[in-house]
Structure 1
Amino acid sequence: MQPSAAVEQRVSTRHGYLHAKDHPGHGTPFVFLHGYPDDSTVYDKLIAQLHPHRSVSFDFLGYGQSERVQNSPVADGQRLAETEAVIDQLGLGKVILVGHDAGGPVAVEYALAHPDRVERLVLFNCYFGESPTLRFPEMIRLMGDPDLVPLTDALFADLAQRQWLLGYTATRFGYGPADDIRDRVIVPLFFGSEGQPDALDAIRAWTARLFTDLAITSELVATGKTGDLQIPVDIIFGANDPYLNSGVAEHLAGLFPNARLRSVQARHWLQWDEPEAVARLLIHDE
């Protein structure tokens, strides 16, 4: 049976509107949170493998097909509020919440705030608090350092330098020119596409919070909040990520009392690299 067409949804928030895709199906809905610098497209291959289970993906403000109004630093609690808006306005009830990259901390924060609304928390290659092996990509650190804003502005204003930075970062992650994730997901956000401007303002706004968010999540760990979360937490990591690596995965597994850690032979975007293998893990655990 072929998957039914996704229902396009427009979700209102006080910061602007979000674009969501609700893929019809049965069971507890999966809700997918993306990170940066990508958007909900990064889940398309995985969602196709999850049919006939219901899946919802959405673009955070300024990304993908959501409103392009994010031209200032992301406000405290904004990503959490956007996630709450999608789940509430779509009437999803209890969900299986999946977070990847910078969407991972948002997923954890939602689960901490609404443990009764999350049947299971799933974390793909992400972080939550400091850990001994955690490394951030050089380009992300550059954009996250407030002292380097003038340099970052100059580099990204130059199209050739912007292209070089993307290519360098892709190579560091192990992705080459033949990997379609670059053209289908990443490049449109940095250079725009037909009918859609680039998302540089949104990328800069979220990455500007890098070290602030790291401090916030570290404080939640230090105060024992994650240890109080009793819901099942599945940590599924691409084993070949040099930044959000297996050491980070092990650190995450130690934060939650009901955590289980699994590994997939994939790079940072495991849901794109190995969607069938990841889908089997998700469905088996439902």
Structure 2
Amino acid sequence: MTSTSLPYIEHRIQRAQGHIHTREYPGSGPAFVLMHGFPDNLHIYDELVPYLTQAGRRVVSFDFLGFGQSAKPDGAAYNFAQQLGDLEAVVNALKLERIIPVAHDAAGPTAINYTLAHRDRVAELHILNSLYARTPAIRMPELIEVFASPSLRALATAFTQSPEQLGWLLGVQQALFHAALPAHQQAHFLEVMPGLIGDNFRQQPSALPAFAQMNADLFAEVTRNAARLDQVKALDLPVRIIWGAADPYLGAALAEDFRAGFGDVTLDLIEAGHWLQIDAPAEVAALMTKPRGQ
């Protein structure tokens, strides 16, 4: 079963640059608000959501502006401040009194900075193979390095102008993630990820402008967040870190950095890759819904 076969309410939440495509699954407790990185969309959670709803939990997933089925207007500006505003718009529009932000990949800054700004509305914080501030433990994927490095901006622009060459680069990157996975998870990765990532660029309008602009803001964002680490350490809420140990880029050393950066924190390393919610959804859901102290 995937989330596409479950009943949900679809919302089109308006922002100045267009609508945010949102899915709300009924349940109880503080809502898990699932956030994706780039070049992903909400479908990275399709196999996780059924396990969360079977546990009786309320779940919200959405596409950041510029990705998936959210608006991609010509001339739109995409950055981490805009993504924080997207999350705030979703929480306010759905009248979510208390939430559990769930960060994956480059959604870490949005989840953590929302928690800093709205501590009273956050019950817990969950982090899945993500990033936040600059640290030697981060190794950026090659695709991200090309689009995020100012010195490679001309090369990134060339890739944006050639769908064939961009497709080649995406294929190389996916092969590197695939090779690092445990053998029993590799076939499923090939069933899911090439289509999920590729559709973000093939469908028109494309997510490519948002992807390029978010990458251009990435290094500046992790530098900005380094100045917030004392505030993060002082957060008085439970933090649950669930980490795919076979991630070749955001690896176990980064998970340990996160653990050291919070006060009330648990860390679970599992046999999975970067997209652990696809590799091991039942295990991830069990940890997300596990009562504290067990």
TM-score after normalising by structure 1: 0.92
Residue 91 of structure 1 corresponds to 95
Cα distance change of structure 1 residues 49 and 249 upon mapping to structure 2, 3 Å threshold: same
For 1:159-238, what aligned pairs fall within 5 Å after superposition?
159-174=163-178, 179-192=190-203, 196-221=204-229, 224-238=230-244
Question: Counterpart amino acid of 2:212?
Answer: R
Q: Which runs of 5+ in 2 are unaligned?
A: 180-185
Number of residues of Structure 1 aligned to a counterpart in Structure 2:
280
Give distance in 1, aligned partners of 2:36 and 2:216. 17
Q: Distance in 1 between matches of 2:194 and 2:254?
A: 28
Equivalent pair of 2:64/2:83 in contact (CA under 8 Å): yes
Q: CA deviation at 1:70?
A: 6.7
Q: 1:227 to 1:168 in 2, by over 3 A?
A: same
Taking the aligned partners of 1:106 and 1:236, their CA distance within structure 2 comes to: 17
Of the three residues 17, 21, 45, the one matched with 2:19 is 17
Tell me what 1:250 maps to: 256
Percent pairwise identity: 36
AA aligned to 1:213 is: E
How far apart are 1:124 and its partner, in Å?
Answer: 0.4
Residue 211 of structure 2 aligns with an amino acid whose one-letter code is I
- Which deviates more, 268-277 or 45-54? 45-54
Q: Deviations over 1:11-59 (max 9, x none)?
A: 1122321010001112221101110110111011100111131100000
Report if the CA contact (8 A) 1:71-1:202 is conserved: no
The partner residue of 2:159 within 155, 158, 176 is: 155
Cα RMSD of the aligned pairs, angstroms, is 1.8
Contact 1:29–1:95 (Cα < 8 Å) also in 2: yes
Q: Deviations over 1:57-92 (max 9, x none)?
A: 000001011001274552462111110000011011
Q: Point out 4+ residue stretches in structure 1 off by more than 4 angstroms.
A: 70-73, 175-178
| Number of the residue aligned with 2:63 | 59
CA distance in 2, matches of 1:10, 1:172: 36
Structure 1: which 5+ residue stretches go unaligned?
Answer: none
SS where residue 123 of structure 2 aligns? strand
- Assess if the C-alpha contact under 8 Å between 1:71 and 1:205 holds in 2: no
Check conservation: 1:4, 1:24, Cα contact below 8 A.
Answer: no
Question: In structure 2, what is the equivalent of residue 101 of structure 1?
Answer: 105
Rounded to whole Å, the distance in 1 between the matches of 2:116 and 2:74 is: 26
Aligned AA for 2:277? Q
